Amino acid sequence: MLVYKTKVIDKKAFVNYFFTDNQLIKAGYILAGLHTNKNDYITDYNDFKEILTKKYGSPKNEQTLWKNDLYKDDHSHWGLAISIGHLKYFSAWETDNTEILNFLSGDNYHILCGVQYRSKSLKEIEIKGNEKKALKQF
Instruction: Specify the number of domains making up the chain.
Output: 1
- Whole-model pTM: value is 0.89
Mean pLDDT of 59-85: 97
Looking from the CA of 91 toward its CB, the CA atoms found within 13 Å total 17
* Residue-number span of the structural domain to which 31 is assigned: 2-137
Q: How confident is the model at residue 138 (pLDDT cuts 50, 70, 90)?
A: confident
**Whether the predicted pLDDT of 126 surpasses 90:** no
Characterise 121 by phi-psi region: left (phi > 0), alpha (psi -120 to 50), beta (else): alpha
76-113 burial, b at 16+ Cβ within 10 Å, e below that, comes to ebbbbbbbbebbbbbbbbeeeebbbbbbbbbeeeebeb
Q: What is the DSSP string of 5-48?
A: EEEETTEEEEEEEEEETTEEEEEEEEE----SSTTHHHHHHHHH
Asked if residues 28 and 116 have their Cβ atoms less than 8 Å apart, the reply is: yes
Q: How confident is the model at residue 135 (pLDDT cuts 50, 70, 90)?
A: confident
Reported as a single tens digit per residue, the pLDDT across 20-46 is 888 899 999 999 989 999 999 999 999
- pLDDT, one tens digit per residue, over 84-115 is 999 999 999 999 999 999 999 999 999 999 99
Distance (Å, rounded) from C-alpha 42 to C-alpha 62? 14
| 3-class secondary-structure state, position 120 | coil
